Amino acid sequence: MSYNPTFQFSHAITRRPSASIVNGLRAEDTGTPDLALMQQHHNEYVGLLRETGADVTELEALEAFPDSVFVEDDALCLPGLAVLMRPGAPSRLGEVEHMAPALRKHFKTVAAIEGPGFIEGGDILLTDKEILVGKSARTDSEGIAELTRIVEPHGHVVREVDTPAGVLHFKTDCSLLGDNTILSTKRLDASGCFAGYRVIHTEDDEEAAANTIRFNQFVIMPSGFPKTAEKLMREGFEVRHVGNSECAKLDGGMSCLSLRFNA
Interacting span for ligand CIR (CB under 6 A) from 20-28, 39-47, 151-159, 189-197: 20-28
Under rule CB under 6 A, residue 17 binds ligand CIR: no
Q: Which listed residue (65, 67, 184, 209) binds ligand CIR by CB under 6 A?
A: 67
Under rule CB under 6 A, residue 33 binds ligand CIR: no
Under rule CB under 6 A, residue 209 binds ligand CIR: no
Task: Work out how close the CB of 1 gets to ligand CIR at its nearest, in angstroms, rounded to a whole number.
Answer: 29
- Which positions are catalytic? 169, 256
* CA atoms lying within 13 Å on the CB side of residue 37: 11
Q: Which listed residue (17, 33, 122, 143) binds ligand CIR by CB under 6 A?
A: 122
SS (H, E, C) the chain: CCCCCCCCCCEEEEECCCHHHHHCCCCCCCCCCCHHHHHHHHHHHHHHHHHCCCEEEEECCCCCCCCCCCHHHHEEEECCEEEECECCCHHHCCHHHHHHHHHHCCCCEEEECCCCCCECHHHEEECCCCEEEEECCCCCHHHHHHHHHHHHHHCCCEEEEECCCCCCCHHHCEEEEECCEEEECHHHHCCCCCCCCEEEECCCCCHHHHCCEEECCEEEEECCCHHHHHHHHHCCCEEEEECCHHHHCCCCCCHHHCEEECC
Interacting span for ligand CIR (CB under 6 A) from 24-32, 94-102, 150-158, 212-220: 24-32
Residue type, 207: E
Within a 10 A sphere around the Cβ of 192, how many other Cβ atoms?
Answer: 9
Task: Work out how close the CB of 11 gets to ligand CIR at its nearest, in angstroms, rounded to a whole number.
Answer: 18
Under rule CB under 6 A, residue 143 binds ligand CIR: no
Closer by beta carbon to ligand CIR, 97 or else 152: 97
Q: Which listed residue (33, 134, 143, 252) binds ligand CIR by CB under 6 A?
A: 252
The residue among 188, 130, 187 whose CA lies nearest residue 159 is 130
Q: Which listed residue (22, 59, 89, 145) binds ligand CIR by CB under 6 A?
A: 89
Under rule CB under 6 A, residue 172 binds ligand CIR: yes
Q: Which listed residue (15, 106, 156, 169) binds ligand CIR by CB under 6 A?
A: 169
Task: Work out how close the CB of 234 gets to ligand CIR at its nearest, in angstroms, rounded to a whole number.
Answer: 27
Task: Work out how close the CB of 66 gets to ligand CIR at its nearest, in angstroms, rounded to a whole number.
Answer: 8
Under rule CB under 6 A, residue 72 binds ligand CIR: yes
Within a 10 A sphere around the Cβ of 156, how many other Cβ atoms?
Answer: 18
Under rule CB under 6 A, residue 15 binds ligand CIR: no
Residues that bind ligand CIR (CB under 6 A): 24-26, 67, 70, 72-73, 89, 92, 122, 168-169, 172, 250-252, 255-256
